A and B are shown apart, each in its own frame.
Chain A
Amino acid sequence: MKKKSSSQIKLTLLFIALIFLIIISLLLGNYPISIKELRIIFIQFLSGSRADLNTNPAWSVLYYIRLPRILTVVLVGAALSLSGSAYQNIFRNPLVSPDILGVSAGAGLGVALGLLYTEGSILYVYFSAFLLGIVAVFLTYFLSKVSGRNNSMFMVLAGIVVASLANALISLLKYTADPLEKLPGIVFYLMGGFSRVSWREFYLILPIIILGGFVLIFLRWQLNIFSLGEKQAASLGVDTEKIKIIVIIFSTMMVSAATAAAGQVSWIGLVVPHIARFIVGTKHKFLLPASALIGAFLLLLMDNLARTISGAEIPISIITALIGAPFFAYLLISGRESGWS
């Protein structure tokens, strides 16, 4: 019981840290806004004096540019980390993540196809991202199953095969795309970034990510048992096939929505679940909310770096890889003797 309350305290602290970072992020950027200005705008907003707000340029920057971007980053970070935790658990493999299972590349291919063949209509882009994300993850699963070697390492290898195939097809699409009109859009989109994000993107991914997160948290007890492996879970009465399909579909939905909004953002889905396990342990009741909060926090931190470190914005995937890869190496080397607990 003691441990339970300590995990709850940790979750509360993570939540406060995220709120704190969101407030700081609102102040950062090319147009400087002080905490005092932010406070005034907040008071004006609460008192409903729209006229005052509309004449304030800081309000426009905050409301139309920074806030939707920050909230979208929070959603994407949470979605990638939640699905990373769920995938690692379902496949009983601490090395899998949306990028390694081929989902990100598949969804990326969907984005490229959507941009190329649907006149860039955002709904089509999202839909094809989801469709190809699902196809990719099932292809990975099928490949590892059909080989008869349904083990963790083979699943990673199958994911690499599927991701390579999807990336090759993306390259082919880029090669055939109109170099002036379509190509820059595809390249920029897939490199990952939040600079084009507006309220529209936020509202498009919000219901998908809330629904996916809700489903995973609803299944937290079954996920605990599932991490013992399918045979043990089945002998404990878990309908393993049903749980697996539900978790894969909703996790993939979240990753596809994230990829459609922000392009391919690597490493977050792999590294964050490990940090979360380190902080709150393996019980999904705490692990899932902790993953969501830490993922949101770290991606927001990285996005702040991406938009403030130099005059021109750096694609987010470069930052996530620069920080995520060495951090993961540290996790590997630091001798987690007790497995990945």
Chain B
Amino acid sequence: MLEIEKLDFSYQKKKILKKINFKAKKGEFISLLGANGSGKTTFLHCIQGLLPLKEGKILIDGENIIQLSKKEIAQKISVVPQENKNVFAYEVLEMVVMGVNPWLAFTEHPSPEDYQKAEKILEDLGVVDLKGKNFNQISGGERQLVLIARALMQQTDILLLDEPNSHLDFKNVHLMMEIMRDLSFKNKTVITALHDPNLAYKYSDRVIILKEGEILASGVVEEVMTAANLSAAYDLKIQKVKPNFSLEFRPAHKFKKKA
């Protein structure tokens, strides 16, 4: 469903992405790993069609992204940005309902049914009590959930997330990862850039490790996430420690949805 062929991207004569080949199937949860500046965010921006491609092709359901309008791309791909306060704040429900925009005509505005649908999505995520609150005045974790709700409102098959955990605390990080994994179980393709290899290892199906704009390794978690690959990716000697001899803190059970 998502195919990338020989993708090249340069910015001010500097090659940021080099000959990237990649395919994602429905229902896969794919993590992008790599050091800062390795090209993860640029890669995600290219898939969204935000950057002009020099060479290569990005195909979604067989259609070349260059031939699609912003609206058509937004009907196929939704993006969850890093949570951040807005300059001008909206109510949570209003933020979520904005996700319906790709399906509206230029002159159309969201209908009462769209608002009901947005409320239902918030309910499913367990945060319907936030609907009337100011987006800027809720916590970082709650904001990230609202952005996920907006992406779900977009009803796309592909979700892109750019380091969604960067401002979140321990609990919310694991909550986010669980939500992403659940979405992949519901046949959505989830592609996320992550800082923490341990999270990628624990939750995702496949991993792409980027280094200086090239794919260093790509494949199923167990095969690709080796000490050698990670050491090369982060320029740091990394060892894989067997769980029996190490200590790790992790949530003891799955998150329960708020009533």
Residues of A within 8 A of B (CB): 3, 88-89, 92-94, 152, 218, 221, 224-225, 227-228, 231-232, 234-240, 277, 281-283, 338-341
**For the complex, what is the distance from the CA of A227 to the CA of B99, rounded to whole Å?**
14
Say whether B36 faces chain A, with CB atoms less than 8 Å apart. no
**For the complex, what is the distance from the CA of A133 to the CA of B179, rounded to whole Å?**
50
* Known contacts A239-B70, A338-B136, A224 near B90 by CB under 8 Å: yes
CB–CB B87/A227 < 8 A: yes
CB–CB A236/B98 < 8 A: yes
* B-chain residues with CB within 8 Å of residue A339 when the two chains form the complex: 85-89, 136
B 25-60 binary contact with A (CB < 8 Å = 1; else 0): 000000000000000000000001010000000000
Say whether B192 faces chain A, with CB atoms less than 8 Å apart. no
* Known contacts A236-B154, A237-B73, A239-B71, A231 near B88 by CB under 8 Å: no
**For the complex, what is the distance from the CA of A232 to the CA of B98, rounded to whole Å?**
10
* B-chain residues with CB within 8 Å of residue A93 when the two chains form the complex: 87
CB–CB B87/A225 < 8 A: no
* B-chain residues with CB within 8 Å of residue A92 when the two chains form the complex: 87-88
* Known contacts A235-B74, A338-B134, A89 near B99 by CB under 8 Å: no
Chain A, Cβ-Cβ closest to B107 = A218
**For the complex, what is the distance from the CA of A34 to the CA of B137, rounded to whole Å?**
51
**For the complex, what is the distance from the CA of A152 to the CA of B134, rounded to whole Å?**
23
Further 19 A-B residue pairs, CB within 8 A, beyond A235-B81, A339-B89: A89-B88, A225-B101, A228-B86, A235-B50, A235-B74, A235-B77, A236-B74, A236-B98, A236-B150, A237-B75, A237-B101, A239-B71, A277-B88, A282-B90, A338-B136, A338-B137, A339-B85, A340-B89, A341-B89
A87 to chain B, nearest CB (A): 13
CB–CB B90/A283 < 8 A: yes
For this complex, 8 residue pairs linking A to B, each with C-beta atoms less than 8 Å apart, are A3-B91, A152-B87, A221-B109, A234-B50, A236-B99, A237-B102, A238-B101, A338-B136
**For the complex, what is the distance from the CA of A282 to the CA of B135, rounded to whole Å?**
12
B144 to chain A, nearest CB (A): 14
* B-chain residues with CB within 8 Å of residue A3 when the two chains form the complex: 91, 132
Say whether B198 faces chain A, with CB atoms less than 8 Å apart. no
**For the complex, what is the distance from the CA of A239 to the CA of B71, rounded to whole Å?**
8
Chain B, Cβ-Cβ closest to A228 = B86
Using a CB-CB cutoff of 8 Å, which residues 212-243 of chain B contact chain A? none
A5 to chain B, nearest CB (A): 14
Size of the B side of the interface (Cβ < 8 Å), in residues, is 34
Chain B, Cβ-Cβ closest to A152 = B87
A332 to chain B, nearest CB (A): 15
Chain B, Cβ-Cβ closest to A94 = B87
**For the complex, what is the distance from the CA of A218 to the CA of B106, rounded to whole Å?**
10
Chain A, Cβ-Cβ closest to B162 = A231
B 78-108 binary contact with A (CB < 8 Å = 1; else 0): 1101000111111100100011011010010
CB–CB B102/A340 < 8 A: no
CB–CB B87/A237 < 8 A: no
Chain A, Cβ-Cβ closest to B98 = A225
Say whether B69 faces chain A, with CB atoms less than 8 Å apart. yes
CB–CB B87/A236 < 8 A: no
* A-chain residues with CB within 8 Å of residue B132 when the two chains form the complex: 3
**For the complex, what is the distance from the CA of A339 to the CA of B134, rounded to whole Å?**
10
**For the complex, what is the distance from the CA of A338 to the CA of B70, rounded to whole Å?**
31
* A-chain residues with CB within 8 Å of residue B71 when the two chains form the complex: 237, 239
* Known contacts A237-B101, A338-B137, A283 near B94 by CB under 8 Å: yes
* B-chain residues with CB within 8 Å of residue A237 when the two chains form the complex: 70-71, 73-75, 101-102
Chain B, Cβ-Cβ closest to A341 = B89
CB–CB A224/B102 < 8 A: no
CB–CB B81/A231 < 8 A: yes
* A-chain residues with CB within 8 Å of residue B77 when the two chains form the complex: 235
* A-chain residues with CB within 8 Å of residue B79 when the two chains form the complex: 232, 235
CB–CB A236/B102 < 8 A: yes
CB–CB A224/B94 < 8 A: yes
Chain A, Cβ-Cβ closest to B45 = A231
**For the complex, what is the distance from the CA of A278 to the CA of B50, rounded to whole Å?**
34
* Known contacts A339-B87, A339-B89, A340-B88, A224 near B78 by CB under 8 Å: no
Chain A, Cβ-Cβ closest to B84 = A229
CB–CB A227/B70 < 8 A: no
* A-chain residues with CB within 8 Å of residue B74 when the two chains form the complex: 234-237
Chain A, Cβ-Cβ closest to B12 = A148
* Known contacts A239-B69, A239-B71, A338-B89, A231 near B94 by CB under 8 Å: no
Chain A, Cβ-Cβ closest to B102 = A237
Chain B, Cβ-Cβ closest to A230 = B50
CB–CB B101/A232 < 8 A: no
**For the complex, what is the distance from the CA of A152 to the CA of B87, rounded to whole Å?**
10
Chain A, Cβ-Cβ closest to B74 = A237
Chain B, Cβ-Cβ closest to A220 = B109
**For the complex, what is the distance from the CA of A234 to the CA of B50, rounded to whole Å?**
8
CB–CB A282/B88 < 8 A: yes
* B-chain residues with CB within 8 Å of residue A240 when the two chains form the complex: 70
CB–CB A224/B87 < 8 A: no
**For the complex, what is the distance from the CA of A340 to the CA of B87, rounded to whole Å?**
6
Contact of A227 among B86, B109, B134, B137 (CB under 8 A): B86
**For the complex, what is the distance from the CA of A225 to the CA of B94, rounded to whole Å?**
10
* Known contacts A338-B137, A339-B136, A236 near B101 by CB under 8 Å: yes
* B-chain residues with CB within 8 Å of residue A238 when the two chains form the complex: 70, 101
* B-chain residues with CB within 8 Å of residue A341 when the two chains form the complex: 88-90, 134, 136
